[in-house]
Each structure stands twice: as structure tokens, then as C-alpha cells.
A and B are shown apart, each in its own frame.
Chain A
Amino acid sequence: MAVIKIKVNGKEISREVSDSTLLSDFIRDNLLLTGTHIGCDTSQCGACVVHLNGKSVKSCTTLVADCNGDEITTIEGLSKNGKLHPMQESFKKHHGLQCGFCTPGMVMSAVDLLQKNKNPSEQEIRDWLEGNICRCTGYQGIVAAVKDAASKM
């Protein structure tokens, strides 16, 4: 056990957790931020993607103990003053989701893409989302949403 200090969605948090706690479990079970999903045991689906110090990572493959002093943004941290983030708006508008299970990870991953590449091509969007699996949409709406969000951000 150790006391971990971590900033989550702008708020300083200090909690005692066991060394083997995964960041995904910490976010969901300790902080009750259940927007971050867990879809696999093999680090392949991307439903758990959050930002760690501004970069997208798989929270299911990161230890909280490894994030001491770091800054995390989860899907709950994207909207500002009750207004959805442009990427979220765009997913809604373009039917970038059906069941919504993959969506938090998709959105967090896509936001990271636009930080690096302001105007990605369709191929670049598809390549970037390699680590995010969606079983519903067939990806068309997702790609359209990311393209549209890029034009607005």
C-alpha cells in the first residue's frame, strides 16, 4: 500500500491504494468515474483509453503506483461547463456510436490524434484508431465524426 497523489480531471486527489492496482480499476472503483470502460484482458480493445500527462494510454495496462504525481484526464473531464467537447458533439451528430461501449476510448484516442495532427486524412484517422475496437458501427460514422471535429477544433 502507498499513498498516491494524482490529478484527475483537474482535481488533486490523494488516496491509499495497493501497489498492484490498475489505473482503470482505480478510476472506476475508487473514483467512481465509470465512463472509462474495460473491454478486454489483453490490452487490445482501447475501451479504457485515458490521457496521462496529455498522451493517450491504456489505463488497463498502467499501474496507479506508476502515475504518482501525474495528471489524468478521463472522458468525464472533456466537457466544460456542461457543454460537450467538440469531439463528443461530433460523435453524436455523425452516429459515431451505437451501444457506446467503445466510445469513451474512441473519443479520448481521437482527441489525442488531433493534438498531434490537426487535419488528419481518412487513412491517418483509421491508422490512429488501430487500438480501438468497435463491434457496432463499422467505423464509418466514427471516421466521419473525427474528420468533422477536426474542422471545428
Chain B
Amino acid sequence: MKNFNFKSATSTKEATKLSSVKTTFLAGGMTLIPAMKLRLAAYSDLINIKKIKGISGIKVSSKSIRIGATTTHAEVAASKEVGKSIPSLAVLAEGIGDPQVRNRGTIGGSIANNDPAADYPSACLALNAIIHTSKRKIAADKFFKGMFETDLKKGELIESIEFQVPEKSGYAKFPNPASRYAIVGVYIAKFKNEVRAAITGAGNYVFRSNELEKALSANFSTSAIDKVNISSKELNSDIHASAEYRAHIIKVMAKKALSFS
């Protein structure tokens, strides 16, 4: 790991002020530190954001759940409020990596990183989330831009993620047996006037499945999924699974997600 300076910000304003092209924010470090150790990334300064007040914790209203960016996966998994109003979100958090990753890793870090196999991005798309940053509000549909790419500008800090409470929802993933990242993860959410289905792990980055959404809007049942045709054309092929296998697993996970809802 190349040497760097460690700075701790106590407010969003201070964090953004300390930020430049050579710096990056440090949350749980569960992605950033391994990347720096492997020399995939190097920065002059790491700006710790865990001491910033007001960007951690969970707020629930009847319509939405707002989760602060530095809230850990373990906190979301253990939250009674999340478990009550969007149980699938607590299930997702509990399935991330391992207990030590969940004790440190944060929701903001996961979303900012936008790993193609990360879990949370699928929740953001399916639950029609709003990403609140130091500058603006971004709809999840506009936030995820490509592999490890988001709409965030340099120095823009995620403060919280606001998930809309659906009538029903479920998340199922087919995990990589070593890392628990998604080989395929499917998040389905039914709202009063729409059904949203997001898929992670299968493509370049998280995406919504038009086919699943159309079928499930007409008939919210597993038999509707049977009739859906998922094309393998744009899907990933790697040592873990071929594109055709992923296309198949999407339907299997979609049915499982539905059975959890």
C-alpha cells in the first residue's frame, strides 16, 4: 500500500472541503483498503467520514425508510424497524459477505462503489430509492451509470439513501460460495401502481428487467415468471458462470424472491 494521510472530517462541509482529485472518502474501508493494498488504487489523503454526525442511523416513516450513508450492514440487518417495514432489505444486509465485513462495511460505500456484483444497488433500483448527497437528490434510476461508475461528482458525498416502502418485496441471491457477492441477485418490489425488478451480478452493472416487470405487473405470481424469456446476450460470462447459466438463474432467483415477498 502506498503511504497516505488520514484525515477525519466532523461535518459534510469539512469532508467536501478536504476533497480533491487526489483524495477519497473512507467509510468502512472494506472495499477501499483491499484495493489500495493490491495497488489497484492510491490516494494522497483518505478522508474518514465515520465521525460525521447526522449521516448514520435509520429513520422510518410510513412511506419510506431513510438510511444514513455510514450505517453498517450489521446495523441494517439487526434493525427491527427495517425488518418490520421492508424485511427484504434486512435479509439483503444479513447476506452481505461475512460478519466482519458487515460490522464495518457501510451502505453508502457499497452504493458509491457500484460493484457489478454488490447487493445494495439492486435494492436501490427495486425500491425506487432517492440518493441524498451533499449537493442534491438523485433518483436511483439515474445514479448507477456503469461498472464501478455512478453519477457522483468528485467530492460529492452520499448522506443517506431513502427507500420507498413497497406493498410486498423479496430479494434472493445465488452467491459466490467464497465471497458471497452475487453471481445473480434479484430484487422484486410491488408498489400500488408498478412492479420493479432489479438484477445484480449478472450484467456489467445493476439493471432493471423489463421482461420481469411486465410479466409481474400483469400477474404477480411465479407462473408469470415461467413464461418470461431472459436473453443471455448482454450478460456476464466468467469462471463462475456462463451468460446462459446466469440467464437461467435469474428466473430461479426471481421465483425465490417472489416466494419470500
* A interface residue numbers (CB < 8 A to B): 2, 18-20, 22, 41-44, 46, 49, 55-58, 61-63, 65-66, 109, 112-113, 128, 130-132
Q: How far is the CB of B152 from chain A (nearest CB, A)?
A: 22
CB distance from A134 to the nearest CB of B (A): 14
Q: A19-B4, A19-B5 are in contact. Are A43 and B30 (CB under 8 A)?
A: yes
Whether B34 lies near A20 (C-beta < 8 A) is no
Q: Are A62 and B104 in contact (CB under 8 A)?
A: yes
Cβ-defined contact, A131 with B101, below 8 A: yes
Size bracket, chain B contacts: 20 to 34
Contact with A along B81-110 (1 / 0, CB 8 A): 000000000000000011111011000000
With contacts A19-B6, A56-B103, A131-B100 taken as known, whether A61 is within 8 angstroms of B29 at the C-beta atoms is yes
Give Cα A19 to B6, complex, Å.
5
**Chain B positions within 8 Å of A132 at CB level:** 98
- B98–A131 contact, CB under 8 A? yes
Q: In the complex, what's the smallest C-beta–C-beta distance from A65 to chain B, in angstroms?
A: 4
Beta-carbon contact of B4 and A43 below 8 Å: no
**B3 contacts chain A at the CB level, 8 A cutoff:** yes
A123 to chain B, nearest CB (A): 14
Known contacts A19-B6, A46-B100, A61-B104, then 5 further A-B pairs from the complex at CB < 8 Å, ordered by chain A residue: A2-B6, A43-B33, A58-B100, A62-B104, A63-B26
Is there an interface contact between B29 and A109, defined as CB atoms closer than 8 Å?
Answer: no
Residues of B within 8 A of A46 (CB): 98, 100
User: How far, in angstroms, from A65 to B3 measured CA to CA in the complex?
Assistant: 13
16 A-B pairs with CB atoms under 8 Å apart are: A2-B6, A19-B3, A19-B6, A41-B34, A41-B37, A43-B101, A55-B74, A61-B33, A63-B26, A66-B29, A109-B100, A113-B99, A128-B99, A130-B99, A131-B98, A131-B100
Closest to A56 in B: B100
Q: How far is the CB of A4 from chain B (nearest CB, A)?
A: 10
Residues of A within 8 A of B30 (CB): 43, 61
CA–CA, A49 and B97, complex, Å: 15
- Collect the chain A residues with CB atoms within 8 Å of residue B103's CB: 55-57
* Chain A residues closer than 8 Å to B98, beta-carbon distance: 46, 130-132
Cβ contacts under 8 Å, A57 to chain B? 100, 103-104
| A42-B29 contact given A58-B100, A62-B104, CB 8 Å threshold | no
Given contacts A43-B30, A62-B29, A130-B180, contact A20 B1 (CB under 8 A): yes
Nearest CB in chain B to that of A113: its residue: B99
> With contacts A58-B100, A63-B6 known, is A44 near B37, CB below 8 A?
no
Chain A residue with minimal CB distance to B38?
A41
A9–B65 Cα distance when bound, in Å, is: 39
Q: Which residues of B contact A58 (CB under 8 A)?
A: 100-101, 104
Q: Nearest Cβ in chain B — how far from A137, in angstroms?
A: 18
B179 within 8 A of A: yes
Cβ-defined contact, A66 with B34, below 8 A: no
Q: Which residue on chain B has the smallest CB distance to residue A128?
A: B99
Chain B residues within an 8 Å CB radius of A19: 3-6, 46
Cα A18 to Cα B33 with chains together (Å) = 15
In the complex, whether B178 has a CB less than 8 A from a CB of chain A is yes
Name the B residues within 8 Å of A2 (CB-CB): 6
